Amino acid sequence: MTGVRITINTAEFRDAIQGLSALMRRPQAAMAEIGEAMILSTQERAAAEQSPDGVAWPKLNPGYAAAKRGGSMLRETGRLLGSLSRRADGNRVVVGTNVIYAAIHQFGGTIRPKSGGRLAFRLGRTRVFARSVSIPARPWLGVSDADRAEIMAIFQDHARRAMRGA
């Protein structure tokens, strides 16, 4: 054979594909990093008082807001946001909280006393009795467009490292 000879060594390509294959079989490290990013994003959204869609939360009842320490929503004691956790297993990550009142803030709803009597609480120095209290939805858990971009960036970073054998 005369002319030009081209030899292709596919070892690097094969190694890169094997690295990606290993990542897809064991994505827990990527999932754990995604979970941590989602916790941080959720905390930042709460500080901005907006939903994952970027919609501002409904304002607090003026009487309640005046009596509230700090005046911020969902952050008075830090318990709710501090309770966020993530669990990465297999091909998924779950981010959430076990705080019982998280759902009423996420979805909204009406709180009624268990015994059929009245709810009793304080607004500042005033004691209030009510048959029910309605809380508007203030979605705080979820995935925003920025979160989706961050998830892709994390996967791309893990894929690049996997293809280099890191």
- pLDDT (tens digit, 9 = 90+) per residue, 138-162? 999 999 999 999 999 998 888 888 8
Q: What is the pTM of this model?
A: 0.81
DSSP H helical ranges for 6-144: 11-25, 28-48, 62-67, 79-82, 102-107
Instruction: Give the integer Cα–Cα distance in Å for 86 and 38.
Output: 9
Smallest CA-to-CA distance from 42 within 79, 91, 96 is with 96
pLDDT above 60: residue 166: no
pLDDT tens digits, residue range 70-105?
Answer: 667 887 788 999 999 999 988 899 999 999 999 999
Q: In angstroms, how far is CA 19 from the centroid of its own chain?
A: 29
